[in-house]
A = this chain, B = another copy of it.
């Protein structure tokens, strides 16, 4: 194993704070002991404060993609009519996963770089009363656009349907108020603004969501929320299968850091850092990919490559000259945009200032911009 000195500014996985690394660098605890039950309980309580919910939270040994599958096999049944709001790559992925499990998937598409149009969404529901559930990505990591899940939650509540929110690249960096906004399932993963290595998926479930879990006829075992709930009700608190102990020790510590700073302060910090980064980028004459600044994410900024420069080249020179790693566009946006993460332990203004400057320098000195 070669320790990496790379300066990681992709939109996840993100760098791990020393406190979190130290928490993981400890002996394994027996996963059915009182000691571990307390850690698990503390972790769940921490997550509730950040998601702003009094509902259930389940933690899986899994990546984000795993909890996307987990949430859909628990929330809907084969044959049910569901709507996926797609405005980027991860929305498309969500639709693909749902189709594999036999639901009747309808897609409402919006141009990449734009947010979901709330009026078009509500009109669709008005005209399609048998839709059971709506799936949407909160922050489209592929485009740097944030969708208005507050409005989406309020509309789904009004129409009595289930809302399923992918908050993988938003939670901990962009405001979410699950209960107040009437969201039913909020899923996320450890390796973005939660500052923990990849390998944990989290799902929060509302009481309305829980009714859907009980009704779902999908085959499920590893993802079965009912088994997780039963295990959490044991004394000591447990997960149904062997817990990913080290990663949970890390997440527990990361959540403590967020709670100590205050979730609202953490989100304000992300906002300020992202805004300062966007301002610098624009001052260089570069253009943001999202069509309106109000749609821009606090956690990832997507920038258009200047004409005739492939983003691949920008990425290559940043790596060579600064050992700095940023991300390319996904799908059709490959080589057309580049994406910079500022989430979790990345979200410090002093660091994004250096990143912006490095981008400017590479464009000027290596790419004659």
Contacts and interface: CB of A to CB of B under 8 A. Distances in A.
Interface of A: 1-6, 8, 10, 12-16, 21, 23-31, 33, 35, 39, 61-66, 69, 96-97, 100-102, 189, 191, 197-199, 219-222, 240-247, 249, 252-253, 325
A29 to B, nearest CB: 5
A33 to B, nearest CB: 7
Contacts of A24: 24-25, 246
Contacts of A100: 219-221
A246 B197 contact: yes
A77 to B, nearest CB: 12
Contacts of A96: 221
A162 B66 CA distance: 27
A112 to B, nearest CB: 21
Q: Tell me how many chains of this kind the complex includes.
A: 2
B244 A197 contact: yes
B1 A66 contact: no
Given A14-B28, A242-B13, A4 B35 contact: yes
Given A1-B39, A64-B242, A199-B61, A8 B30 contact: yes
Given A25-B21, A66-B222, A245 B30 contact: no
A242 B35 contact: no
Given A61-B199, A63-B61, A16 B4 contact: no
Given A199-B246, A325-B30, A64 B1 contact: no
A281 to B, nearest CB: 22
A172 B293 CA distance: 55
Nearest to A196: B246
